[in-house]
Amino acid sequence: MAKPIRHMVIFNLIHQKDSQEELKFLKDGQELLTSIPVVKDFQVLRQISSKNDYNFGFSMIFETSEDYAAYNNHPVHKAFVASRWEKEVTKFLEIDFEDFTEK
């Protein structure tokens, strides 16, 4: 049985903290990426721990690996990466988890 995938990316932006540009990037990312039908439970997260130096996170769930592949190849995702992500993100770490617990 296919298990859902939790896709997360933690990142930093070129923008000043709490600036309009920072807020616009986060809101635009949420608006654009949630328009992709296979994206479920999208969250925009702000880092509060001093244990790493990343500032933000996007988290979402895909019901199947096929949905995750569809997201990665979706024109909206590709356009967001090319027009915004590659220009405004200074560093990032991508993490993908599958639920490991027995059900």
**Residues whose CB is less than 8 angstroms from the CB of residue 43 and which lie 6 or more positions away in sequence, other chains included:** 57, 58, 59, 60
pLDDT in tens, 70-85: 999 999 999 999 999 9
Whole-prediction pTM:
0.92
Q: Are 54 and 47 in contact (CB under 8 A)?
A: yes
Structural domains in the chain plus CATH codes: 19-45+66-96 (3.30.70.100)
pLDDT in tens, 46-100: 999 999 999 999 999 999 999 999 999 999 999 999 999 999 999 999 999 998 7
